[in-house]
Structures are given as C-alpha cells and as structure tokens.
Structure 1
C-alpha cells in the first residue's frame, strides 16, 4: 500500500463534499383554529443561500402518513432560528399526537421527527 503524504490527505478532504447539519426543530406548537388546527414550527439550520437551505416541514400521523406540508420558498441566512406557521390543517378525529419533520434542499428529510401531543381542547 502506498503512503499518502499529508498534502494528499488534505486535498482529499477538500475534495469531499461537505455535509452541513440538517434542520433542527427547536419548537413546535399546535392549537385549534376554526375547523382545523394551526401549527407553529421554529427551525434552525445553517442556511448558506439558495444552494442549501431549510425548505420545508411536514405534519405526520404516528404511522408516517402526511397530513400537511409547509414549503419554505427561500433561505433564512440572517434569520435563525425562524418560525413559520400553517393553518387550516385537518386532523383525523381522535388523533392525539402528530410528528413534525423538517427538510433541507440538499439532504432532504433528515433528522428524527419531533412528536407533538395534541391537547383535546386545542
């Protein structure tokens, strides 16, 4: 096996694609709003611009069925963490908890979903 010099190792590291952290759900809240529910989700992500940013979050049932998605249309480079809302989300009767999962434009749906317990009164 041929020995690689230090300069080659550094070059290999620089040539490897860098992976930033995925979006982190800092906070999630749900409340009844009219006939449906309103979700307020606070995300943090090292947005670097249009090439890599947190671009959405979704509301899922415990078995992973999507109930709603909030698309984020632009990077939030200088606004971290940031909160976005989604209203008029219809939930199945009797549902007591949902999961919130975040996505970024490079890595997709990454990280562990956050479980949010719904209060019966909203």
Structure 2
C-alpha cells in the first residue's frame, strides 16, 4: 500500500517547482540595469526656472559591428529655451577618462524628455562601466547621472 503524501510536503514541492519555473523565465540577462546616482540628482524638486543642470534619466550602451559602442541617452531639461538649454553630455570611465562627448546644437523645449544617440565611442576593454553626465550651456556639467555596464 502506498502511503499518502502529507499536504505540507505536496505544497512545498509545488512551491519549489513554481520557483524553478520562474527563475527560468528571466531571459538570460546577466547585466544589471543602469543605475541613477541619486546623490547627483540635485535638480529633483526644483522648478524649471531654478534648475541649473539637466538630468540624465536613461543611458544604454550598445555594441556596434566595428568594435565601438553607441550610447542612447535620455535627458530631462524642462528649463530649455532658445536662450539657455542642455547642450550635451559626456561619457566618463571610472578613472575619469572621457571616451566621448556629444554636443547638442539647439534647445529641446518642445520635447521633454528627449533621447539622442551618439555613435562610435571607443571604450577600452578594461573599462567595465561608464557614467553619463549632462551639460548645461551656462552652468556646465551636473544634475542626475546614469551609470551603466559596458556590455
């Protein structure tokens, strides 16, 4: 005669099976999501008139076929006007070197936040992550930053 399985054992086995199934659905992505530096987000809570720097709210590095990287950057600068605006960003390695800078030629007052792509960044193999910093044409670099892993 086969003895019945206690209900708690059956529930535990069912829960374990569900956990294993969920873990298998992660999509195989090992790289963590980009992180924002809350300490650098000095513009949070400010009005557009008070804000001195743009915030980088998203950045993604994508390997290009030629061994370089493209970076897609989303910037929020609600203070933008033709007289003063976010005029670019830079990509900074942990040692302070700058693999790339991007210049914006005009304001984006009618498009907030806005996303642009910089192509052809050369990032040394030993660099594991980079930080993207926004720039204001009057006050320079500052505001919220995003740090992302180099794929």
Consecutive unaligned residues in structure 2, runs of 5 or more: 1-48
Partner of 1:114: 146
Q: Does 1:55 align with 2:87?
A: yes
Consecutive unaligned residues in structure 1, runs of 5 or more: 1-17
Q: Does 1:65 align with 2:100?
A: no
- The partner residue of 2:120 within 88, 93, 104 is 88
Partner of 1:36: 68
Deviates more, 1:30-39 or 1:108-117: 108-117
Alignment deviations for residues 37-87 of structure 1 (CA, whole Å, 9 cap, x no partner): 010000010244222100000111112211101101000001000001111
CA contact (8 A) 1:38 1:86 kept: yes
TM-score (norm 1): 0.77
Alignment deviations for residues 16-54 of structure 1 (CA, whole Å, 9 cap, x no partner): xx6424201111000101220010000010244222100
CA RMSD of aligned residues (A): 1.5
1:114: Cα distance to partner?
2.1
CA contact (8 A) 1:47 1:75 kept: no
CA contact (8 A) 2:55 2:145 kept: no
CA contact (8 A) 2:91 2:130 kept: yes
* Count of aligned pairs between the two proteins: 102
Q: Which structure has the larger Rg over C-alpha atoms?
A: 2
TM-score (norm 2): 0.63
1:112: Cα distance to partner?
4.6
Partner of 1:103: 135
